Amino acid sequence: MQRRSLPRQLGPQFAVAEARSLGVPPGRLRARDLQAPFRGVRMSPSDDELCRLLALQTVLPSSAGFSHSTAALLWLLPLPLALQSYAALHVTVPAGAPRPRRQGVVAHRGDRDLEVWRTLRRTSLGATWCDLATQLSVTELVQAGDVILNREGWDVPALEQAVAEHPGQRGRTALRSALRLVRPGSGSPRETLLRLLFAEWGLPEPELNAHVSNEAGWLATVDFLWREQGVVAEYYGAVHGPTWKQDLARAALLEDEGLRVVVITDDDVRRRQLELRARLERLLA
């Protein structure tokens, strides 16, 4: 038997209550051509996680938005591996509003600025970073903050304002600590981790993604530069594998200009920190 077509007013994701109000019988809503990602919600079959978020949004109040690590994923902020999925969807509703209760949904209360992206409501970038203070370590919070500072219109005072305007006290100590440590210019979360490691070792603070020039003009942009001491540190992650010849040639150019180049790999960070620290301390002395 051919299935009855759904009303055109219903999109790919819709609330069961809306479908029933349009005359769709219960049996049609149980058909195999529809998925039920949440109680009271139906959607066309899809493996796209954003479709799952859109489906949940059909039963959320218009004042609610995705928040915390869910909003961070939508904002493309770095997160620890355990939070890099949409398995648990974080949603924030205004203070005093009822919390949505559905399996797979973590509901929060609080007044937040919302922005719309691809029809999804998410907390603003500043509010998202503040909310992450309840989920991340200070180091992870700094990694996310460094990414934000590389975005247009963001600087440390803007982050400070976001923290000042953030309601509630949860995570405020972590936010204050992170504010003292964030810096613009970091090229990746791993580079942020290295920068924090340098600070922990008591090394002078380097310039980040700094330009090196000679009489002929621009020579290179390096990950870390201690200009006064003439020292460069370059982080070579896994992506450097296919370009190692170019990397070696660039290091040679920098050394020809009298700079001393330290190449840092993941092995140095994981297994040879003492040797790395000793070398940098010697070069920067």
- Collapsing DSSP to helix, strand or coil, 33 comes out as coil
Task: Report the candidate in 169, 171, 148 with the shortest Cα–Cα distance to residue 158.
Answer: 148
pLDDT tens digits along 166-200: 987 789 999 999 999 999 999 999 999 999 999 99
Q: Identify the bridge partners of residue 143 per DSSP, sorted by sequence position.
A: none
Helix 156-165 vs helix 138-149: crossing angle, to nearest 10: 120
Write out the residue limits of the CATH 3.40.960.10 domain(s) in the chain.
Answer: 189-284
Measure Cα distances from 252 to 83, 212, 240, 247, 248 in Å: 40, 13, 16, 9, 6
What's CA 208's distance to the chain center, in Å?
20
Written as one string, the DSSP assignment of 168-209 is SSTTHHHHHHHHHH--TT--SHHHHHHHHHHHHTTPPPPEEE
pLDDT of residue 208: 97
**CA 209 – CA 217 distance, rounded (Å):** 17
Options 3.30.465.10, 3.20.20.150, 3.40.50.1460, 3.40.960.10; CATH of 189-284: 3.40.960.10
Task: Report the candidate in 64, 127, 125 with the shortest Cα–Cα distance to residue 96.
Answer: 64
- Collapsing DSSP to helix, strand or coil, 86 comes out as coil
pLDDT tens digits along 134-173: 999 999 999 999 999 999 999 999 999 999 999 877 899 9
pLDDT tens digits along 59-75: 999 999 999 999 999 99
Task: Say what the pTM is.
Answer: 0.91
pLDDT of residue 169: 76
Mean pLDDT, the chain, rounded, equals 93
Backbone angles phi, psi at 14, to 5 degrees: -155, 160
